[in-house]
Amino acid sequence: MEEVYNYLKALDVNFLATRNGDGVSCRPFGDPVKFDGKIYMLTHAEKDVAKQLAENNQICIVAHNSEKDDWLRVFCEAVDDSNNTAAKQAIIDEFDWAEEAGYRLDNPSFKCYYLANAKAEVRDSEGEVLASYEF
């Protein structure tokens, strides 16, 4: 888990894919948050991503490190942990912009998820597997 977190944290953006009906949606996501030995992400309940995760929590995260010219792919479940106020507080503490953006403990729209049952690979530009992780 630590290696995947560090990979994602070092980048400005990663891409999160969710099921969207019979199709797929992909969108940019930002910094992950590490709390209680898990990787967390956040969003608002009104966003399509939260609605899609409520229907099917299977996701794929893809990130490219241009300095190393390698790729990370994470196939996992996004587990809704929005009732965990300690996790939410850790997310708020991580980002100076969080409360201004509506990520407050008293906001029922503040959703947080952790990655579970993850299988991750780092591959080079030729497709060679450099590292594999499960957490």
42-97 confidence digits (pLDDT tens) = 999 999 999 999 999 999 999 999 999 999 999 999 999 999 999 999 999 999 99
pLDDT confidence of residue 79:
98
Q: Which pTM was predicted?
A: 0.95
Dihedral sign computed on CA atoms, order 96, 6, 80, 22: positive
Average pLDDT, the chain: 97
Dihedral sign computed on CA atoms, order 97, 87, 58, 135: positive
Q: Do the beta carbons of residue 92 and residue 104 sit within 8 Å?
A: yes
89/102 Cα distance (integer angstroms): 13
pLDDT confidence of residue 31:
86
The CATH architecture to which 2-134 belongs is: Roll (2.30)
User: 114: pLDDT confidence band, cut at 50, 70 and 90?
Assistant: very high
pLDDT confidence of residue 119:
98
Give the start-to-end residue ranges of the domains of the chain: 2-134
